[in-house]
Structures are given as C-alpha cells and as structure tokens.
Amino acid sequence: MPTAPNKKTTQRQGFKTNEFIVYPAHGVGQIMAIEEQEIAGAKLELFVINFVKDKMTLRVPTAKIVSVGMRKLAEPPLVKKALETLKGRARVKRTMWSRRAQEYEAKINSGDIVAIAEVVRDLYRSDTQPEQSYSERQLYEAALDRLSREIAAVQKVTETEAVKEIEGALAKGPRRGPKPAEEAGTDEASEEEAA
C-alpha cells in the first residue's frame, strides 16, 4: 500500500506537530502531537491540540479538521486587514441586544479573524463613551482575547503587545478621541452623519 502515507498527509491538511492553529470554538492552540487510537476496531488519527490559556487539551480526528473549521494562523496581510477593520466606523444594527449578541457570538466562534475584528470594533468603548453593559463587556473581552492571541502568534509578540497594537488601531477610528485641528475644520463628519 504505497498510497497510505499520502492519504494521511492529505487528511492532515499540511498541519504539523508544534504548529499553532486556530480552532474556531477555542481560538489559538498548538498541535502537541499526532496520535493513533483504535476506536471500535478502526484506527483513527488524532491531532492533540493544547490551548494553554484555557488549560485544555483537545483530541481532534485529522479527518474532521475541515468540518470543524480548524485553520492555519492568518497570513500577515490578513492580520493587516483585521487591524485596518478596527480603524473603521462601528456598525451597530438597531436590533435587540439579544439578537446582536448572538451575531457577535457567531462571529467570535467563526474563527474568522476579520469577523472577530469587527466585533472588537463594534463593541469598543473609549474612555469618553458611555459604559458597556456586562454582557457587551464580556463579548468584547472574548473577541479581544481571540484577536490578540492570534496576532501575538502570527507576529511572535506577547499578547500584551498585541493588545496594545489593537488598542492603537481602535484609537485611530472615527470619533474616538480628540481630532487634530486641521481635521476639525472639515465638514466630512456631518456629511457622513446625513448619509
């Protein structure tokens, strides 16, 4: 059976031991090992994934990684796009909070770094803005945590440094702090409000 090794490699989707990955429901994890287990007479190959922050280890069958949405860390251009997203204007739908909360939760668990950045952007509050509710704060923290962990893993920096970078991008967003004098004179903001 010379084809066996190739089948395994395809199932592994190019994932290797010690590699950092993103698992949608839990965020950034590290593949610690690839194990074989026999379950009901069938040999099953499993990724052993460790999530340090959650002090949790998952065993995921290599054949299931596509269906669970496990992916490699975002490429730097995608991280850049996520950071750019943070600088955009918050888009908050005028629907009930419970519905919005479900949408935010779905975005956080999608594992999509840009969707997670949208949640961080939409729920961010600067010091001058009104306080968040407890549930808003929790969703914001969860999204910020996911985003900072992935940025830290991609850029090989600490999570604290990643959070500083995220907060720096958020601070550049519209209406989030004092405007420079030359910008204050333009009526760009009032046009956007009318639109």
What is the CB neighbour count within 10 angstroms for residue 122? 21
Supply the pLDDT for residue 115: 97
CA distance 113 to 102: 17
pLDDT of 29-75, one tens digit each?
A: 999 999 999 888 889 999 999 998 889 999 999 999 889 999 999 99
pLDDT of 5-38, one tens digit each?
A: 445 555 677 899 999 999 998 999 999 999 999 8
Find out whether 30 and 49 touch, Cβ atoms under 8 Å.
yes
**pLDDT higher than 70, residue 181:** no
Paired strand residues for 31: 49
145 and 113, same structural domain? yes
Structure pTM?
0.81
CA distance 145 to 140: 8
Is 190 a member of any domain? no
**pLDDT higher than 90, residue 127:** no
Question: φ, ψ for residue 34 (rounded to 5)?
Answer: -120, 115
Range of the domain at 88: 76-171
65 and 14, same structural domain? yes
142 and 93, same structural domain? yes
Paired strand residues for 43: 38
